[in-house]
Amino acid sequence: MASLSAGVTLTFSAAPMRQSRAHTGTLPTGTTVDDKESLMSLSGTNVLVLAADLFEDSELLYPVLRLKEEEVAVTVAGVTDEPVTGKKGHGPFPVDTAVSKLTHDDFAALVIPGGFAPDALRRSEDVLNLVRDFDAAGKPIAFICHAGWVPISAGIIKGRRATSFHAIKDDMVNAGCDWVDEPVVVDGNLISSRHPGDLGPWLQALIGALDNA
């Protein structure tokens, strides 16, 4: 459990941290080049995180912090470049740029937090086109909780296996998703989880996908 500001507390199952590229300790005898690479961070990797007002606080804050621990360059983008505020009051949280100014070519993966923010994100054609571009390129798209609304509106969930917060199960199923109730579901480039309690395995799956890219 980590407290970030008054009224905002993160609770999650921790994903294991890996050694950074700056690691200078002694590695076990017999460690191969491939083993050393697996201990390295993701320095030089760029990941895009989508944000809008009323995001689920922990589902935005934890991915940003956890990816930065891996030395990932994180860009937070919104429908506009105005700061956003979480549903539990965290904010104003700075947004780096507007989605309309971006292309999937500059990023290795896309992260979509939940809360009520996805209902705003799904109404932006710029957001939906970007999601479609990430999917067409086979790049990881990690979404959690109510964020399943965004791939639904982008038209990429039909025939795919995924999970979400139980309240939007019907939306997912009606869009043609093979919905399952599991902490994290990986189907190709789609990485989905149900709620803040799944943040640890969700980020572990995303980091694993980035590491294997």
Whether 144 and 112 have beta carbons less than 8 Å apart is answered as yes
User: Which residues make Cβ contacts (< 8 Å) with residue 151, sequence separation at least 6?
Assistant: 112, 131, 135, 141, 143, 157, 162, 190
Whether 155 and 148 have beta carbons less than 8 Å apart is answered as no
- The gap from C-alpha 98 to its chain's centroid, in whole angstroms, comes to 17
Residue whose structure tokens are 């199952």:
13
Q: Which of 90, 104, 146, 195 is catalytic?
A: 146
What three-state secondary structure class fits 24? coil
- In the residue annotation, 104 being an active-site residue is answered as no
DSSP percent split of the chain into helix, strand, coil, nearest 5: 35, 20, 40
What three-state secondary structure class fits 176? coil
Q: In the chain, where does DSSP find H-type helix?
A: 33-38, 57-69, 117-121, 125-136, 149-154, 169-174, 199-212
Catalytic residues: 146
